[in-house]
Amino acid sequence: MQTIAELEEIMTKPSQRLIDDLKQVNGDIMILGVGGKMGPTLAKLAKRAVDEAGLNTRIIGVSRFSSGNLQEELETSGIETIACDLLNEEELNQLPSVKNVIFMAGKKFGTMGNEHFTWAMNTYLPGRVAEKFADSNIIVFSSGNIYPFVDITKAGCTEETPTQPVGEYAQSCLGRERVFTYLSKKNNTPILLYRLNYAIDMRYGVLLEIAKQVFNDKPVDLTTGHVNVIWQGDANEYALRSLLHCSTDPAILNITGPETISVRWLAEEFGRHFNKEVTFVNSETPTALLNNAGKAHKLFGYPSTSLQQMVEWTADWLKNDGQMIDKPTHFQERQGAF
């Protein structure tokens, strides 16, 4: 895999499980914040799945579309688009009513010094969206950052682990969940809180960041020595299939891969692929931000893309000078400063 076209073909190819589940989803699907890292491939995956299922379901992508050619790209793929500033009340209210909404809009990077905007996007906007789409099923993209750092030997946080967000970004993510939960109960809106960490593809993510350190002969910091990851294609599929599991409780799902992954092991694997000697700084802290996604795996099955496959793809992508997105995850951050 060396090109964006090959990458997107793999990420947007629907499984039979997804096709079968979408046959049970009634109504059109609107993706709010489709212009982010995951939105375009999620929309294309949804479109391919409903087409292969023989459905007339409309897939609608909403974003500001303020730069680039994403709007044209999505429309070429058969996805309807609406240019909208979601913080503009008039524009938000003009959006059509649909039965299913996937809420991906949010703010993370650049929070420091711009905290008010992060809270507006992550906590104020959810309230406006929940009221606008009170009669819809809503998948709310959230974050594993709302959990505390936990002992790396304890299998990670489950959905029952008490939240303990560190820093304003994580606090605002919990605020998003609390506002959606309030309005779910108030309006009987079926909602699912989708606590994700960390989705990757070849252009960005934890694996690429570690691979780049090794490839460029830079030492790998082991302070945060353990992580979770999941292939973006699998995370997108789980989000769409989650439309069948919304509830007015609301429902909660942790979304990540099955492994607690050693950063040291990852670095050494990339060293083997690149034929490089790996160097390290600092030692592994006994705690990390780790999620247990066993509940999601019971519902949907294990991710279709293995960790070893992701490592191999990432190494090949880097060796072949593949395109990258300059949006680091900051998975090493332990003080919540984004």
- Is residue 296 assigned to a domain? yes
What is the spatial distance between Cα 157 and Cα 145, in angstroms, rounded to a whole number?
11
Q: What is the pLDDT of residues 191-248, one digit of tens each?
A: 999 999 999 999 989 999 999 999 999 999 999 999 999 999 999 999 999 999 999 9
User: Which residue stretches of the chain have pLDDT < 70?
Assistant: 108-112, 330, 333-338
- Is residue 39 assigned to a domain? yes
Which domain covers residue 104, as residue numbers?
Answer: 4-203+229-258+290-300
- Is residue 29 assigned to a domain? yes
What is the spatial distance between Cα 210 and Cα 206, in angstroms, rounded to a whole number?
6
Phi-psi region of 83 (alpha: psi -120 to 50; beta: other; left: phi over 0): beta
pLDDT of residue 336: 63
List the helix and strand counts (H, then E) for the chain.
13, 15
- Is residue 315 assigned to a domain? no
pLDDT of residue 145: 93
What is the spatial distance between Cα 167 and Cα 336, in angstroms, rounded to a whole number?
4
What is the spatial distance between Cα 251 and Cα 95, in angstroms, rounded to a whole number?
25
- Is residue 330 assigned to a domain? no
pLDDT of residue 111: 60
Distance, CA of 28 to chain centre: 21
Residue 90, domain CATH: 3.40.50.720
pLDDT of residue 26: 96
pLDDT of residue 35: 93
Enumerate residues 6+ apart whose C-beta is below 8 A from 111. 118, 167, 168, 169, 172, 337, 338
| The total number of structural domains that make up the chain | 1
pLDDT of residue 332: 74
pLDDT of residue 140: 98
pLDDT of residue 181: 98
- Is residue 264 assigned to a domain? no
Percent of the chain residues past pLDDT 70, beyond the cut: 96
- Is residue 309 assigned to a domain? no
- Is residue 186 assigned to a domain? yes
pLDDT of residue 68: 83
